[in-house]
Structure formats: C-alpha cells, structure tokens
Amino acid sequence: MALRYLALGDSYTIGEGVAVEDRWPMQLARALRAAGVDIADPQIIATTGWTTDELYAGIDAAAPQGPFDLVTLLIGVNNQYRGRSVDEYRTQFAALLQRALGFAGQRARRVLVLAIPDWGVTPFAAGSGRDVAQIAHELDAYNAAAAAVCTQHGIAFIDTAPVSRARGGEVAMLAEDGLHPSAALYTQWYQQAYPVAYRHLNDEVLP
C-alpha cells in the first residue's frame, strides 16, 4: 500500500496561480516516487489567505484520518500580512505542529516544516506601499519562532526562505499575480525538502 502524505498550509501549499501538478507537495511526491518511494499524491488541506487559526479550523472541518507517513506544514504569511504578533504565531504554530505530529503517529521524523517566503521581494509588495524591510524583518522573526519550536520537538525545519528572498522577485519565479511563486520556485522548495523527506522515509520504511 502506498505511503500516505498530508500537506497543511495556505496559498503556498495549495499553489495559488499554478496548475495542480506544479504545487510543491505534488512535485515532492513525484520526486519521491521517481526515487522508488511508493507514496501517494498528498491530501492537501490549504486555502489561500489562511492564518494559523484558520488552518486549525480547516483541519477540523476536513477531519483527515491518520496516520500519515509524511506530514508537511507551511503557514504564517497571512498572520504577518494582517499584523499579528510573533508571540501569537508561536503559540498557534506550536498547536498546529502538535496536530501534525498526531497525524504522523507521533513520529517526529515524518513531519517537515517549510519556512515562510519573503513576499516583500515581489512586484506585488513593491506596489503595495508596505515597508519591504519591515516585511523581511517580521518574517525573519516568524521563521525563527517556527524553527525554535521545531527544534524543541525534533522536527526538521527546511529553510527555504533564503532562496525565496534571493530569487522570488524574478519574473520566471512568479505566478501571473506577481505575488505567488511559479512552478519554478516551487521546484526550488521541493528540492530542499526532498533529501530530508527521502532520508526519513527511507530509514524507517524501505529495505
């Protein structure tokens, strides 16, 4: 039976502006299968605009049935966009991470967290009138909080923020809205997550 994969998040996980097959969790699953890991396409619980508390409620509504062999989590950009505090984010992120662990059967090695990208480098941000330096500073604080919580629980934090900041403003790396990533940037993300996912799945499942 194929391994089960649950992807939790917001617009970056549902792939706003790209085809279904170009979402980074879909690309990750394909790459794992190409390497011999029998894993199904992910069940995705994500909606554009969701904050941490909205994702929590969305999970309640979807009621996914575990255990899953891989769970990924990427959430928080909308908290920052709406001006919410890092302390609130840390608390709500920790609660979501506990749920992710539960879906993974309390196997910390089966949970991966991806960093929030810096949307301040995008054309959308440039035209928004927002302070892009402040966006960067706040998202760095959010990612630091998430990474610290992950460390406490022995969960891998995949720091995709640097590549997103370095390349996220390039035309080829953007969807048509000038804000969300294109398939090409999602490829950069999954390629960072892939070695960790492969190693953790391979260590515990494959001969």
Domain map of the chain by residue range?
Answer: 5-204
> Is it the case that residue 36 has pLDDT exceeding 50?
yes
Contacts of 95 (CB under 8 A, 6+ apart): 52, 56
Each residue of 58-113: pLDDT tens digit?
A: 999 999 999 999 999 999 999 999 999 999 999 999 999 999 999 999 999 999 99
Stated pTM of the model = 0.96
CATH code of the domain made up of 5-204: 3.40.50.1110
CA–CA separation, 19 and 8 (whole Å) = 18
Smallest CA-to-CA distance from 147 within 86, 70, 80 is with: 86
Torsions phi, psi for 7 (to 5 deg): -115, 120
The single-letter code of the amino acid at 5 is: Y
Each residue of 10-34: pLDDT tens digit?
A: 999 999 999 999 999 999 999 999 9
Task: Give the single-character DSSP code of 125.
Answer: H
